[in-house]
Structure 1
Amino acid sequence: MSFEFIHSSDLHLGRRFSNIPQPPDGNIRGRLMEARHAAISRLAKVARERDAKHILLAGDTFDTATPSASVVQQALTAMADCTHVCWWIIPGNHDNLRDAEPLWEKVLRDAPQNVRLVTDNAPIELSAGVQLLPCPVAFRSSGRDPTAELASMPTSDGDLRIGLAHAGVVDFTDSGGHIPPDRDRSAGLDYLALGDWHGRIAVSPRTHYSGSPEQDRFKHGKRGVCLAVSIVAPGAEPKIDEIEIGEFLWAKAELPLLSETNVVEALEGILPESDRRNVLMRVKATGWSSLAQQAELRHASVRLGPDFGFMDLNFDDLGTTYDEADIDEIDKAGALRLAANRLKDDAESETLSTDERSVSAGALSRLYAYIKEAE
C-alpha cells in the first residue's frame, strides 16, 4: 500500500496587498493577486506530475470571510478544470465557518464534483484504507485546540490516519487555537497536514506546515512551496518532498555602510541578478554614510527599482556623517543654507528625541538629494 497526496494551505485568494505601495507606472498588487490565483493550476500540475489524486488545503483558502463573487467563482472554475485531482478544503481562521457562512453555502451549492468542502469533524475515506480526519475552524478566535477531537475519531485497524487542521503549534499566530506538538502521536496519526503559518515548518517527521504557495511578507526568504507526501504503510514515516511553486520572492537584505564604501557597488552587490521582475526587495541601510553617499544611494535605487516587482530602500538605521563641503553644496548662504544648518543642528542635538533627530537627518539628506538632482 502506498498513498501520495499534495499538502498546501493559506492560498489567501483575494488578498489585496494594500501594504505594498503601488508604483504609478506598475501594477504589482494586481500581479500578486493573480499569482495567488495561478497557484491553483501550479498545485494541480505538481499533483499530475506526482500521480497524486488528492490535494489537501489546510485552511485560509480565501483571505476573508467575504471574498468577491469573481474571486470565489474563478477559484472554483480553476479547480474544476483540474479533473485529475480532488481538492479537499477546510475553513481556516480567515474564512472560518461562522463568519464565512454565506461563502461556504455558495461553495457547497456551486462547487464541482472534484471540490470537497469539509465542515464536520468526522473521518472521510479518501481511498481504500486511507482516512482523512478534518478539523475545520468554526470561529476565528475560539481559544481551543482544533485538533482535540482527532484522538477520538474512529478508523478501522490498518487504515492510514491523515489529519488536516489550521492553527498554531506555538503561539505565533492569531488563529486562536494552539495544537500540542505531539498531536500526531496522541491521535495515532500517520501525517498531520497543518495550515496557518505561511512559512514551511517541519514540526516532527509526521507533522508539517506547508506554508503558503505564494509568500506575502518579507519574512521567510524563499519562494512558496507545496509538499508532496508519500506514505507506504500505516506507521511508516512519511516521505516529504518540498516542491517550489511560488512565482514571487519576497527578499530582504541589510546594506552595511562605512564612510569609505562605494555605496552603489555595495547596493548592486546584494541584489539578485536574475528574475528581478518577480522579486519584491526590501533593503535596510545600516552603519554610517555622508550626505553625498546617501544621494548616490537614492539615485541608484531610482535607477534599479523599476527592474523589480517592488523595491524599498530604508535609511532609518543609517547614521549620517556631516561634512562642511556637503552642506556648502546645498547652499553657501541664504535661506537654503539656514535651513540646512538648522536641520544639521537638530540632527546632532543631544536634547531632542531620537525620532526628532531622525526626522531632521532624513530631511537634510533629502534636501541634499533634491539639490543634486536639480543641478
Structure 2
Amino acid sequence: MKLTDEAAKARAMTFRFIHSSDWHLAKPFRRFEPGLAGELAAARLGIIGRLAKIARERGARHVLVAGDIFDSELIATLEIRRALAQLAEESDVTWLLLPGNHDPLRLSGVWDQVSRLGLPPNVSVLSSATPHTLAGNAVLLPSPVTSKDPGRDVTEWMDAAQTPPGAARIGLAHGSVRGFGSDDDAALRLAPDRAKRAGLAYLALGDWHGAARVSAETWYSGTPEPDQFPDNEPGFALSVTVDGAQLVAVDKVPTAEFTWLKFDRTVHSAADFGAIERDVRSAASTLGKTLLRLALGGHLSLADRAALDVWREEWSARLRRFEIDDKALTVTSGSMDFESLGLAGALLDAARHLAAVSSDPASPERDAAATALLRLAGFAAEGRREAGQ
C-alpha cells in the first residue's frame, strides 16, 4: 500500500500539457483563389482535432494556447460557433485560451462574442492576470493582451505572483522577446529572462510563428498550421512535461496538414530540375497538400527554358500550388537550340529574327521579342513531347 501511495504522489507531481499558439482561425487567405483559400481555412480549424489527438497520445489533458486564437477581432458569428463546436467535441481535453494582439481582450471584441455565445465546459478564456490552478502541483500565470499596443511588458506581474510552495509555475504570454523574431520597437515587448526572474518552470509564448527555443525554460510553439512561405519552423506543437517545480522535457510534435516550401535554386540545364523534384519530395509529406514558391537563378538554353515551362505545368498539377520567380534566370539561344526544337522553314526564320531582336539592348521591342521567342520555343517543345520525340 505504501508503494502505491508513493506512486500516486509521484504521478500527481508530474504534469504534462501541450503548448500551442497563433491558430489564426478564420484567416481569409485573400491572395489565393477561393478553392485553395477555403482548404487552408479548413485546415486551420482542423488544428483543434489534431492537437486533441496529440494530447491524448502524450498523456496530456490540457492544451495551453498562447494568443491569436482568432485572426482578428472582426470574426463572423458562424466562424466563432464552428470553433466552439470543435473545442466542445474534444470534451476530454481542457483548452486554455489566451487573447493575443490579433484578438485582444477588449470591449466589443471577439471575446465578447464568444462570451455571449457561451463557452463549452472544457474551455476557459484567460481574461485576467491572476494565478490559475491547473492540476496537481501546477499553477498557470497567464498574461492576456488587452490592446494591440499595451505599452508595457505584460509578463512583469509574474515576478511577484503568489503560488503555493513548491508549485510548478507555468507562464503563458504573447509577444516578442528582444532580439528574437521581431523588431526592437515591437509593441508587445517581453523580457527575455522573465522565466528566471519569475521562477517559472516553463514560459509558453506565442507571436513568433516558428517553433523555437529562447532559453531552457522559454519557448515559442509557433503556429501549428503554416500560413505563408516560411523562414522559420511553423507546423508544430510542443509537448511539455514538468515534474514537481522542474521542467523535464520539451518535445516538438508535427501538426501541419499543408506543407509550405520556399526554395532558391540555380539551374544551368533541364537536368537540374530533377534535383529540385527530389528536394520537394523529401520535404513534403503529400504533394497534393504542398505549396511551393521557387526562385530560380542561373542560365538555360532556349530549349531548356522551353522545357522549364513544360516542367512547371507538370508540377503545377502535382502540387496544390506552384509559384516560380524566374526574373533572375537568363536565357541563351543559338542555332543548336533551334535545331533541337525541330524548327524549320518559316518558324526557324522567325525564331532567328526574334533571337536577334531580343539580344539587342537598343531595341524597344527587346522584351516583347524575348517573350515571343519563349512562347515559340514552348510550343515547339510541347509539340515534340506530344509526338514522343
Class of the TM-score when normalised by the shorter of the 2 chains = 0.7 to 0.9
Note the C-alpha offset of 1:131: 1.4
Superposition RMSD on alpha carbons, in Å?
2.8
Q: 1:365 to 1:185 in 2, by over 3 A?
A: farther
Note the C-alpha offset of 1:371: 4.2
Aligned partner (choices 46, 70, 73) of residue 62 of structure 1: 70
Distance (whole Å) between structure 1 residues aligned to residue 369 and residue 232 of structure 2 = 31
Whether 1:11 aligns to 2:23 is yes
Whether 1:298 aligns to 2:309 is yes
Checking the alignment, whether the CA contact within 8 Å between 1:295 and 1:365 is kept in structure 2 is no
Aligned partner (choices 246, 255, 267) of residue 256 of structure 2: 246
Distance (whole Å) between structure 1 residues aligned to residue 304 and residue 178 of structure 2 = 44
1:189 corresponds in structure 2 to 200
Distance (whole Å) between structure 2 residues aligned to residue 270 and residue 360 of structure 1 = 34
Note the C-alpha offset of 1:360: 6.3
Aligned partner (choices 252, 265, 274) of residue 274 of structure 2: 265
**Secondary structure of 2:196 counterpart:** helix
Q: 1:194 to 1:342 in 2, by over 3 A?
A: same
Report sequence identity in percent: 35
**Secondary structure of 2:304 counterpart:** helix
Checking the alignment, whether the CA contact within 8 Å between 2:103 and 2:109 is kept in structure 1 is no
**Secondary structure of 1:318 counterpart:** strand
Per-residue CA distance 1:332-363 (angstroms, 9 max, x = gap): 556x87665443324xx6x99xxx99x66973
Checking the alignment, whether the CA contact within 8 Å between 1:144 and 1:178 is kept in structure 2 is yes
- Bigger-Rg structure (1/2): 2
Runs of 4+ in 1 over 6 A off after TM superposition: 359-362
Q: For residues 115-154 of structure 1, what are the structure 2 equivalents within 5 Å?
A: 115-154=123-162
2:85 corresponds in structure 1 to 77
TM-score by length of 2: 0.83
2:55 corresponds in structure 1 to 47
Checking the alignment, whether the CA contact within 8 Å between 1:97 and 1:139 is kept in structure 2 is yes
Per-residue CA distance 1:136-195 (angstroms, 9 max, x = gap): 111113343221222122222222111100011135347622212111001111110000
Whether 1:103 aligns to 2:114 is no
Checking the alignment, whether the CA contact within 8 Å between 1:289 and 1:319 is kept in structure 2 is yes
Distance (whole Å) between structure 1 residues aligned to residue 301 and residue 216 of structure 2 = 52
Q: 1:194 to 1:18 in 2, by over 3 A?
A: same
1:92 corresponds in structure 2 to 100
Report the residue type matching 1:104 in the other structure: W
Distance (whole Å) between structure 2 residues aligned to residue 369 and residue 332 of structure 1 = 10
Distance (whole Å) between structure 1 residues aligned to residue 98 and residue 233 of structure 2 = 26
Q: 1:41 to 1:326 in 2, by over 3 A?
A: same
Note the C-alpha offset of 1:222: 5.6
Distance (whole Å) between structure 2 residues aligned to residue 148 and residue 255 of structure 1 = 45
Per-residue CA distance 1:249-274 (angstroms, 9 max, x = gap): 11122332125x52443443333166
TM-score by length of 1: 0.86
Checking the alignment, whether the CA contact within 8 Å between 1:108 and 1:117 is kept in structure 2 is no
Greater shift in the superposed pair: 361-370 or 276-285:
361-370
Checking the alignment, whether the CA contact within 8 Å between 1:211 and 1:225 is kept in structure 2 is yes
Aligned partner (choices 152, 159, 164) of residue 172 of structure 2: 164
Greater shift in the superposed pair: 36-45 or 174-183:
174-183
Note the C-alpha offset of 1:374: 7.7
**Secondary structure of 1:33 counterpart:** helix
Unaligned runs of 5+ in 1: none
**Secondary structure of 2:266 counterpart:** strand
**Secondary structure of 2:189 counterpart:** coil
2:321 corresponds in structure 1 to 310
Whether 1:205 aligns to 2:216 is yes
Report the residue type matching 2:271 in the other structure: N
